Chains A and B, each alone.
Chain A
Amino acid sequence: MTDAALHRIKPLPRATGAWGRLKVNRNWLALWFMLPAAAFLILFLAYPLGLGVWLSFTDARIGRSGAFVGLENYEWLWDDSVFWLSVFNTLLYTIVASIFKFAIGLYLALLLNENLPCKAMLRAVVLIPFIVPTVLSAIAFWWLYDSQFSIISWSLRKIGLISTNIDFLGDVWNARWSVIFANIWRGVPFVAITLLAGLQTVSPTLYEAATIDGASRWQIFRHVTYPLLTPIIAVVMTFSVLFTFTDFQLIWVLTRGGPVNATQLMATLSYQRAILGGHLGEGAAISTAMIPFLLGAILISWFGLQRRKWQQGESND
């Protein structure tokens, strides 16, 4: 019966000719499938990225394409104290905020991983700061940090901890801590929820075994949870560091880089110089100067990740 059935099936029409062969050629097909995405990414990402580096070697201004000036922009920045202040601010902002985001995020993830009533709702609520657009929540912080009518100052005064209002955004170090706090507030939910997703893959039997062996809570965390979580921590923190380092929105809403450039980050400085000041070349040089830092951050977490994999006995790929 099978033989009969086989004979009745007409052989597939063979793709003949160049066109026929081309139609089933996966490389040719893939070219068309990739085309829209590639067009966007080349026209609006790769090309501008290259153009940015090129602009940093020119004296371009808004409305005037510049001439090649070599390293002049960079030499100019090298002697510019505001630029170095912005580098310092960016590093301070990134390092402090990332450490706190990691610590609080991990702690929150561990708390949420416990058995809790209304678990699903709690976890959903935690993410809200991440959903609301940064600019809009930054405006709420701006109001919370108001120099006269801040509810924080008011509450602390009522409790009796301070006697005069705190000038959150007017004082150099206050402003720095205030923007860092707002950034931590915004970043913790992302870290917490992604780490929670990682935590849930840790088998409870490991905890039970460790408990029977007499491990303390800290030992369980240090020797069971943390090693298993390392790969996901590496990825999450890379993202977190990258987006903190290049942050713009929060600073722009809260302080615009003030007071006296105390919260000027590299991103806000480049916006000021390039768009408000019109010196495209100089702004592009500041943006380009961010690239080595970003590459550094990526490489550090990348190699952290690789070493973990190797230690766990997996092959390198």
Chain B
Amino acid sequence: MTDALIPKLAGPKAVLHGASPLADHSEGMSYLERLPRRLITLYLPLAIILIVLLFPFYWMALTAIKPDEQLLDLETFSPFWTWNPTFKHIHKLLFETYYPLWLWNTMFVAVCATILSIVASVLAAYAIVRLRYRGAQWVGGAIFLAYLVPPSILFIPLSSVVFQYGLFDTPFALILTYPTILIPFSTWLLMGYFKTIPFELEECALIDGASRWQILTKIVLPLSIPGLISAFIFCFTLCWNEFIYALTFLSSTQNKTVPVAIVNEFVDGDIYRWGSLMAGALVGSLPLVILYAFFVEHYVSAMTGAVKE
């Protein structure tokens, strides 16, 4: 089952930089095309798609720093730019609401759930790939299936489970339920990484008398650090993005995570709410975008890895 699901994919470096991992075809066959033709068939559609993809963020950022009087008056001021940006909305967000607390909640839940899941996944992935115990293949397949179980099917029974365990409205409700989304994904990703580590290294260590635990911590883990980083930041992003569990399992304002809080606490009748809403959305996405800027390659490898293995 696992082998059937391995289409060939290029590595993240190639995805970001190279035209092809094979040889150097930097020019390729593009010399066959003239510039005007490339302009129409390549640059124009690309520009349109990019503008559509990025415009909502531009609009979000612009709205967040526009003064109120320009926000709704599209006629007197040019709506696409502002000459007197204000930090009023962001200031209000940070000092007059629970926003810092919500950010902290989100961060706390995301970090805890991610660490838990990575620890569990490292152990599971190592066991499946290298211990090759009876039924390992079967378990690998089951984990892939678990990846396909969507949260929107699980949240109703989970809410009653969370209630039974007395976790309702605590961060632990999320810290313990998020790993159900993260473990299948990161186990799958790490299995791919562990498979690339040569058997011989482990055999040497075994002959030298190392225990399995020592092999894992001293040989396998140091060699799979890129994989661990990918798994970590991708899990972190998934946690930050999660909505339906947080919406269902938390009720008090102080416990909410950023996505839930923005949707529930900021939406009042105020016609000028857009400024603070957009500021909230902007500040809530910034941590992830910054993380992404530093780890682009790891994101790509996590994404393609999730599909590949």
Point out residues on A near B: beta carbons under 8 Å.
Answer: 12, 26-27, 29-31, 33-38, 40-41, 43-45, 47-49, 51-52, 55, 60, 104, 107-108, 111-116, 119-120, 122-137, 139-141, 143-144, 146, 148-149, 151, 154, 185, 188-190, 193-194, 196-204, 207-208, 211, 231-232, 234-236, 238-239, 242-243, 245-249, 252-253, 267, 270-271, 274-275, 280, 283-284, 287-288, 290-291, 294, 298, 305-306, 309, 317
Contact = CB atoms under 8 A, between A and B. Distances in A.
B307 A194 contact: yes
Given A107-B45, A127-B292, A236-B307, A151 B158 contact: no
Given A41-B180, A189-B53, A136 B262 contact: yes
Classify the secondary structure of B's interface with A.
helix
Interface residues of B, number: 114
A198 B244 contact: no
Interface string B39-57: 0001001100110111011
Interface stretch (B81-89, B196-204, B276-284): B276-284
A45 B14 contact: no
Contacts of A41: 143, 146, 180, 183-184
Interface of B: 1, 3-5, 7-10, 12, 14-23, 25-30, 32, 42, 45-46, 49-50, 52-54, 56-57, 59-60, 63, 71-72, 74, 79-80, 116-117, 119-121, 123-124, 126-128, 131-134, 136, 139, 143, 146, 148-161, 176-177, 179-180, 183-184, 187, 209, 212, 237, 240-241, 243-244, 247-248, 258-260, 262-263, 274, 277-278, 280-281, 284-285, 288-289, 292-293, 296, 299-300, 303-304, 307
Classify the secondary structure of A's interface with B.
helix
B243 A27 contact: no
A193 B300 contact: yes
B50 A49 contact: no
Contact of A51 (B30, B59, B160, B289): B160
Contacts of A249: 243-244, 259
